[in-house]
């Protein structure tokens, strides 16, 4: 019933910037949380940033001061502005959201996007 579609990944040089977008579509009653995870080859998937309804944001220590998460509630979209990118930021970035598809019953579930590749290299 709910789909998350990411966009904005690509190849950038160290120190560059990218802006990721994730739009939720389908049957959406309410969104509790939207955020971003990333996974590099050989590594476990790790949380990067999230924002809860009400605007409370959380960042991994590794990206604090460089990444900014924001939302557009009218579009059911979450963004991740990534500045001063480093090679260690290279990973597949996944959008994640906790969404209730319908109001009755109001049941929240985790949804995941397909992932978008971010490569930081010279």
pLDDT tens-digit series, residues 30-82: 888 999 999 999 999 999 999 998 889 999 999 999 999 999 988 899 999 99
Residue 107 has pLDDT above 90, yes or no: no
Residue whose C-alpha is closest to residue 93's, from 63, 57, 54, 52? 63
- pLDDT of the residue at 104: 86
Query: How is 43-88 classified by DSSP, letter by letter?
Result: S--EEEEEEETTS-EEE-TTTTTTEEEEEEGGGTEEEEEE-S--GG
What is the average per-residue pLDDT within 73-93? 95
- pLDDT of the residue at 80: 97
Residue 99 has pLDDT above 90, yes or no: no
What does the block give as tokens for 95?
């959008």
Residue 102 has pLDDT above 90, yes or no: no
Residue 14 has pLDDT above 90, yes or no: yes
Name 67's Cβ contacts closer than 8 Å, sequence gap at least 6: 48, 49, 59, 80, 81, 82, 83
Query: Which helix (DSSP H) or strand (DSSP E) does residue 97 occupy?
Result: strand 91-100
Residue 29 has pLDDT above 90, yes or no: no
pLDDT band of 23, cuts 50, 70, 90: very high
């Amino acid at each position: 019933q709910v789909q998350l579609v990411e966009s904005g990944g690509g190849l950038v040089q160290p120190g560059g910037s990218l802006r990721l977008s994730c739009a939720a579509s389908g049957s959406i009653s309410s969104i509790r949380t939207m955020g971003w995870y990333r996974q590099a080859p050989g590594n476990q998937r790790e949380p990067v940033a999230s924002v809860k309804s009400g605007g409370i944001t959380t960042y991994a220590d590794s990206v604090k001061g460089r990444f900014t998460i924001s939302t557009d509630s009218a579009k059911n979209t979450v963004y991740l502005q990534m500045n001063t990118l480093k090679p260690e930021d290279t990973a597949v970035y996944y959008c994640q959201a906790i969404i209730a598809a319908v109001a009755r019953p109001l049941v929240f579930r985790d949804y995941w996007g397909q992932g978008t590749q971010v490569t930081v290299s010279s």
